[in-house]
A and B are shown apart, each in its own frame.
Chain A
Amino acid sequence: MDFITIDSQSVPIEGEKNILSIIRKAGIDLPTFCYHSELSIYGACRMCVVEDDRGRVFASCSEQPRKGMVIKTNSSKIQKYRKLIMELLLSSHCRDCTTCHKNGICELQKLAYKVGVDAVRFTNNKETLPLDTSSPSIVRDPNKCILCGDCVRTCDEVQGVGALDFAFRGSEMQVMPAFNKPLAETNCVGCGQCRVVCPTGAITIKKDEERVWEALDDPNTRVVAQIAPAVRVAIGDSFGIPKGTNSMGKLVGALRRMGFDKVYDTTFGADLTVYEESKELVERIQNNEKLPLFTSCCPGWVKFCENKFPELTDHISTCRSPQGMFSALLKDYYRTQDEKEGVDMKTFVVSIMPCTAKKGEAIRDDYKTDGVQDTDASITTAEAARMIRRAAIKFEDIEEEAVDMPFGIVSGGGVIFGVTGGVTEAVLRKISYDKDHNHKALGEIKFSGIRGIEGVKETSIMLGDREVKIAVVHGLGNASKLIEEIKAGKRNYDFVEVMACKRGCVMGGGQPVPAGPRTKQMRMKGLYSVDTASQVRTSNENPLVRLVYDDMINGREHKLLHTR
């Protein structure tokens, strides 16, 4: 085995492509902004500079390890350079830290502290540029951009969207959409993955908190919350709770203290989705039309398909997403209830989502019932955490509470909607249950190859004597490649689950940041544990779903639960 020397430590080269990985393996956490293991190497931020025994200084992320190299990561020369580089990054950065939405969770702030910058000697001579607030999902503040290119590479390489890129040159360089168009006029799908990787406040979530506070303040408004599956394993991040812990009970308690009248679980909407989507799948297979059927739970994916593959929009399930179904149902339920009891009250539905694209979904025309918006405000996990903080609630000490009836029982299958493969797993549980009229071993479905983090996963089940071919894909870049292959006839499926974000909603654009590899893993694990611990694992075992169909929906599925 070959070795290199890092600060007098001998470290083996075990297939690492760059020196930075070996340095980190050796226990030295060199600071970086532009290095992400899932993205290509760019070498822009220069924070990872090191020195070799000949006094050569270079960026360790973009240098191949060679046998016998002697690397110094902390010589006084390197410390001086690193400080200077940080100073230069800070010099053209808008340093309004106290009012920045990234205050306290900002990578730039954190690394400036780590590197030990005590003064910035250079003045910022850049003109102040306007913010782009056109998108319902994210806000772009070019004054806070440090040009690390993380958003550019994520949008292009991972998501295959490419709405952002560098423009101009040298000191005039900026990150922007083509012709500096407002994001709302580009092919941006609002997935928010750029915001997840952005180390500064240059890309942040479009906030909808104020409207929620106003509704909470109004005595004539009934404020109802629904909490998406993936939120429960991430919100604890903002309050120092171990990664991946299920904090659903605490969140329910916190929302009640903030004044929410009723709190529900979006998983109930997911259970309805399982019903509607499996019915649609079976129908399409019987009629052999518009196959493969694409899932419709993910608004980033739906918009991506509309932009890039408009000819395939017919293949997307007509089901509304769990958010959409549940909001429509809640609005309808309270309207009927109020009419019966002669109560004059407004109902304001707030959805708490791991997702920035859900904000865009909430205002879509096909997510309105009789022209009325069903989800009044869609806020992200990160915004919910901010609201709890503003209300000065000690989240970590709060007692766990249960969600409200009559939608208070949810299935484990619905909970795993928040992770890639979950929708498919829940649908498979339902279909195989229907078919055999006995509960086919859940384990068999679990190990059928739909779990895990490979970009594209495949499985198949028998429906009668017909083999149903299924693909699960996450990350829009992967989805795009898969669809090109389907169009070229190289692959053939009946059902394709698409999640815009890699790993699914647990790593959605609205989740707390930063989230490293361990956090990602723990969030997935967390959701699977919630499923395993549920009494009800399959949507059709949920006794309340049947009641809702009989008492509330009454054959109005297409009005309340579908886009058309």
Chain B
Amino acid sequence: MLDQSYYEKADQIIGNYGRQQSALIPIIQEIQNEYRYLPPELLTYVAKELKINEAKAYSVATFYENFSFDPKGKYIIKVCDGTACHVRKSIPILDFLYKELNLSKEKNTSDDMLFTVETVSCLGACGLAPVLTVNDKVYPAMNPEKAGELLKELRGEA
């Protein structure tokens, strides 16, 4: 059971969009921004409030890779694997992060809830390849060593 505050937050966000069915995606995006994931209970709640079938809302939320029903870490590291980044060796960076944090494609959030590692298809910063982002901050021209330092830095901050 989610805390009541979650539903109040959802109510507020739904209110901001005027209870429009067409605003389903921005509403659940905003909820995900708030909690860094989309709590399944809130998707059900939003669907009910907007009078959308729960199955339809689930259909929308699973269509987009961006929505996650699992809680994510404090730092969401997105490694770009678009064409430009890929040819400039983004995979070794990803492999390094997986190994260092003991993660995989299936299990992408560390047990201490500090890191989530994902890939994205293109961040549109091909000139800076290979690139990764941490909570939307862009780190250009990366390699495994630099990624290692970045992890240390983030851990120190935490």
Contact = CB atoms under 8 A, between A and B. Distances in A.
Contacts of B65: 169
A398 B129 CA distance: 79
Contact of B53 (A162, A167, A179): A162
Contact of B59 (A161, A163, A165): A165
B40 interface: yes
Contacts of B55: 162-165, 167, 176-178, 186
A166 interface: yes
B55 to A, nearest CB: 4
B99 interface: no
Interface string A172-199: 0000111100000011000000000000
Interface residues of B, number: 13
Contacts of B59: 165-167
Interface in B57-71: 57-59, 62-63, 65
Interface residues of A, number: 16
A113 interface: no
Nearest to A166: B59
Interface string B27-65: 000000000000010001001000001111111001101
Given A178-B44, A179-B40, A168 B56 contact: no
Contact of B62 (A156, A162, A163, A168): A168
A164 B59 CA distance: 9
B58 A156 contact: no
Contacts of A163: 53, 55
B58 A167 contact: yes
A167 B69 CA distance: 14
A397 B127 CA distance: 81
Nearest to A177: B55
A179 B54 CA distance: 9
Contact of B58 (A161, A169, A179, A187): A179
Contacts of A187: 54
Given A156-B56, A169-B63, A178-B53, 13 more contacts: A162-B53, A162-B55, A162-B56, A163-B53, A163-B55, A165-B56, A165-B58, A167-B59, A176-B55, A177-B55, A178-B44, A186-B54, A186-B55
11 contacts: A156-B53, A156-B56, A163-B53, A168-B62, A169-B62, A169-B63, A169-B65, A177-B55, A178-B58, A179-B58, A186-B55
Interface of B: 40, 44, 47, 53-59, 62-63, 65
